[in-house]
Structure 1
Amino acid sequence: MKRPSFQFYPADWRKDAALQSCSVAAQGLWINILCIAHECDPYGHMTVNGKPMNAAQIGRLVGMSAKECSGYLAELQDAGVSSVAEDGSIYSRRMVRDEKVRETRAEIGRQHGIKGKEFGAMGAEHGGKGGRPKGEKTPGDNPPRNPRRNPPKTPALLLLLLLHLRRKRNALSRRLARTMSASKPGRTGCSCGRRSERLSRRR
């Protein structure tokens, strides 16, 4: 299955002096060529059924006459924007280079056992395309979770409730301790006797 998209960097497009030196019509033709070459095989080459497209075929795809398309293709080639392969097909150097990088990453992933599904559904679907290789997960791909290293997250509201209950418990414990110490035998009488002695001395 072919990838539904390709990387496009607006800043690189705007900063490309060779491309910006071309007319707006030639730039429009080039972006259409990039979109068409994304669907072609080899990737990034303007081919159909394994043969290079000519100016008339490209013109029909983008809504231009063969003469107009031929002139703009020559303008792009003279500026160094487009390239021509040995078989005569027009191709984008950037797309071909990016495809090689993706395939290299995919091969490295296959060698090291990186599974496409680790990158989500799209990774499993496209596999080797885009540097995301196919493959089924094995039990060793998902090691058991260590609860000490990754403790479960507790909601803030629950933490506040626990803190409030702890404070209530401590307050109740202190109150109970004071009540028990005041109710010890002999303490009440002793304190009353001392209080009466102080009053008698004052009188």
Structure 2
Amino acid sequence: MNEAVWSQGATGVREKAGSWSRTLGISLRPWSGQAPWSLLLRGGIQCAVSIAILVLSIRLTGAVEASAAAAEEGMLRNLAIFMAIAAAVTALLGAARAVVGLLDLAPRRTVSGTVASLEKRKFLDFLPRIAQRYIFERGPNGIDRRRERLEVVLHTPDGLQQWTVRKPSIRRQLSRGAHVRLTVTPLAGYVAEVYHQPGAAPPFP
């Protein structure tokens, strides 16, 4: 009984979170839609570069204390401390990215459903166009720096679910109303494969 109630509660929270993220035009998944090998590679490079900068900043602090004049010592030390903190934070983010990629390597799941929508999304793209231009466009050329992503939403037996699609070959296989089975990773939601199910009945009225 308790397990059933807990399962229903978790499903309700997941559906509400998914609904809000679709409305806002965002994804709640870390590094949404990125392939595991890409996460591992980029995370490893980010960690390596950040650690190198961290070591350099620590050495810079020692060099400042040994040779800098009193007037310059405080400024250079603050610069070195700022570099060290920034490098440490960046290294942690790189490590987290690599861990997500590592965990996404093996366990993949399949989800069947009907494509409800296939749209390019941006943060807060539900707002009127004039409001988006006022909030996000900057500079004399009105450049909008929001990242655009392709979002596929599936009607499944468990409700609406969405993923970010990055591979061009996957994009070409998806269309609204198609009955498909997706192979996806659990954390980043990388869509690895699409199987069409032409004879499948839609899981919704």
The structure whose RCO (Cα within 8 Å, separation 6+) is larger is 2
Structure ranking higher in strand proportion: 2
| Structure with greater Cα Rg | 1
Q: Same fold (TM over 0.5)?
A: no
TM-score by length of structure 1 reads 0.26
Which structure features the higher share of helix residues?
1
Q: What TM-score comes out, normalization by structure 2 length?
A: 0.26
